[in-house]
Amino acid sequence: MRLGSGPPVRRADASAQDDVRRANLSAVLRLLHFHGPATRSDLVASTGFNRSTVGSLTSELVKLGLVRERPGEVRGKGRPSNVVEPVSTSAHVLAFDVTTSTVGAARVGLGGYMLQMRRRLHSAPPHDVPAVVELIATLVAEMQARAHPASVCLGIAVSVPGSVRQPDGLVRRSPPLGWYEVHLADLLRDAIGDDVPITVGNDGDLGVVAEYLRGAARGERDVLYVRGEAGVAGGVVVDGELLKGSGGYAGEVGHLLVKPGGRLCSCGAKGCWEAEVGDAAVIRSVGRDPRESDIEDVINDVAVGNRRAIAGVRKTGEWVGLGLASLVNIFNPRIVVLGGTIGALYPTMEATLVQGYARTLGPNREQALLVRSELASDAQLVGAAEVAFADALEDPAGTLDARRGTGGENDEPAQVHELRALGS
């Protein structure tokens, strides 16, 4: 997946004319998908293509049904420039976010429009894999039934809190869910019974993709995202590229060792960062029992000014800051986006967090801006949706032909899709 909505890559060296055409079509569709409706003149200015090229690319996208044109407003003399806009009912994706208590689901149309959203409590414990697979398959059927009959489903992407192997979407381990070696992509493909591409990704990776493309980190090239929940997830974008590592496990920040000999972590080790700052630790820090209280109780306590809760959250802030400092030292991000519980409680823990953070940081401290997630609990759904749109944004005509079954060489059955990250 090429992240980003920046200026198009000019492919002057491409040997085949087809490649140039595909890249140019991709550049125009990407702009409309990420930035919304634009006049033809805007497209000329943003892409650097000439008027006739923009006209012909727009016509091709109209023919594919992906965009439509309407007359623009008359300003001053001359003919108004047509406004080009993405058609949200022409193509859509389905995004899922599996957490310890719920499965979130969204049908997202081209242009990033949230057409439908659902969040269902697990009816069975989350470690009951077949029950979760069945719930997702049911939600797929429900959302597909509501989609416009002519709309093409481009893909399905699922966020999971754990280590997910790429490219095959095998969940290696998810301590919060109690999942180990779960072939989630394969199980979903069998349950859904369609040949729609399926991607399974880590919640931290999908969170950073979302904040980078559509949230608090828009316009930045180097981003660190941290989501505090039952565990602590992380995702890193380096110079506009999602950092995956050799197996797809990069960014497993929750198991950063911060306190040798510390509390037992769900992974089996002691002193991991998430054992100090995950939801259970936060609940304990305010004097509550994680078996009886959940994180919402803490957030409510803090909101009503409960002193013990505020003191506990501030104490946790020191540990959050300590872990963040190590990560900022490694990645030198321009912006650090805090999501989940850490984002929700950031205003309360800000002072202690910044203290712990500043102590171990050198000059890179002033560069790394700390912000709360803009997308909050929707980040994983937004990120999953963008991953599922990636192929169509890369090659609009080819992908659409393949999904509509009109492509010659491309109509291979059932695919499991890698969470790909391509630089520009």
Residue 393 is a binding residue for Zn ion (CB under 5 A): no
Q: Which residues are 228's β-sheet partners?
A: 232, 340
String marking each residue 62-81 x if it binds Zn ion according to CB under 5 A: --------------------
Taking phi over 0 as left and psi of -120 to 50 as alpha, with beta for the rest, 196 belongs to beta
Q: Alpha-carbon Rg of the chain, whole angstroms?
A: 23
Triad 97, 98, 101: Cα angle to 5°: 125
| Residue closer to Zn ion, measured from CB, 256 or 325 | 256
**Residue 371, C-beta contacts closer than 8 angstroms, at least 6 positions apart:** 216, 217, 335, 336, 337, 338
Q: How far is the CB of 274 from Zn ion (least distance, A)?
A: 6
Give me the sign of the Cα torsion angle 142, 146, 151, 156.
negative
Measured from the CB atom, the residue of 263 and 372 that comes closer to Zn ion is: 263
DSSP-H helix ranges across 147-288: 184-192, 203-214, 273-277, 279-285
Tokens of 147: 């989609």
Q: How far is the CB of 373 from Zn ion (least distance, A)?
A: 23
Closest to Zn ion by CB, 269 vs 330, is 269
End-to-end Cα spacing for the chain: 10
Q: Which residues of 196-212 are buried (b: 16+ CB within 10 A; e: fewer)?
A: bbbbbbbbbbbbbbbbb
Q: What is the DSSP secondary structure assignment for residue 76, as one 8-state letter?
A: S
Choose between 260 and 305: whose C-beta lies nearer to Zn ion: 260
For the bound state, the minimum distance from the C-beta of residue 263 to Zn ion, rounded and expressed in Å, comes to 10
* Pick 151 or 266: Cβ nearer Zn ion: 266
Of 173 and 244, nearer to Zn ion (C-beta) is: 173
State the nearest-atom distance from the C-beta of 287 to Zn ion, in Å.
Answer: 24
255 touches Zn ion (CB under 5 A): yes
Q: Cβ of residue 228: shortest distance to Zn ion, in angstroms? A: 14
Beta strands in 208-308, from DSSP E residues, in sequence order: 223-228, 232-238, 241-242
Residue whose pair of structure tokens reads 């999904």 in the numeric block: 403
- Other C-beta atoms lying within 10 Å of the C-beta of residue 366: 9
Distance (Å, whole) CA 393 – CA 93: 12
List helix spans (H) across 64-155. 129-146
Among 83, 133, 267, 299, binds Zn ion (CB under 5 A): 267
At its nearest, how many Å lie between Zn ion and the CB of residue 136?
27
- Residue pair 98/77 in contact (Cβ under 8 Å)? The answer is no
Please work out the total of residues on this chain that contact Zn ion, with binding judged by CB under 5 A: 5
Does residue 422 bind Zn ion (CB under 5 A)?
A: no
Closest to Zn ion by CB, 8 vs 162, is 162
In the complex, least distance from residue 340 CB atom to Zn ion, rounded to whole angstroms: 17
Binding mask 270-289 for Zn ion (x = CB under 5 A): --x-----------------
Tell me: does residue 173 bind Zn ion (CB under 5 A).
no
With contacts defined by CB under 5 A, name the span among 19-27, 130-138, 254-262, 298-306 that binds Zn ion: 254-262
| Smallest distance, Zn ion to C-beta of residue 304, A | 33
> Site for Zn ion (CB under 5 A): which residue of 32, 250, 265, 342?
265
CB 27 within 8 A of CB 8: yes
- Which one, 197 or 231, has the nearer CB to Zn ion? 231
Q: Which is nearer to Zn ion, 150 or 269 (CB)?
A: 269
Among the listed ranges 28-36, 143-151, 258-266, 372-380, the one in contact with Zn ion (CB under 5 A) is 258-266
Of 107 and 255, the one with the shorter C-beta distance to Zn ion is 255
Q: How far is the CB of 42 from Zn ion (least distance, A)?
A: 48
Angle at CA of residue 101, ends 100 and 106, nearest 5°: 100
Q: Considering the rule CB under 5 A, would residue 257 count as an interface residue with Zn ion?
A: no
One residue of 141, 150, 264, 269 binding Zn ion per CB under 5 A: 269
Query: Least separation, in Å, of the C-beta of 247 and Zn ion?
Result: 18
Q: Give the footprint of Zn ion on this chain (CB under 5 A).
A: 255, 265, 267, 269, 272
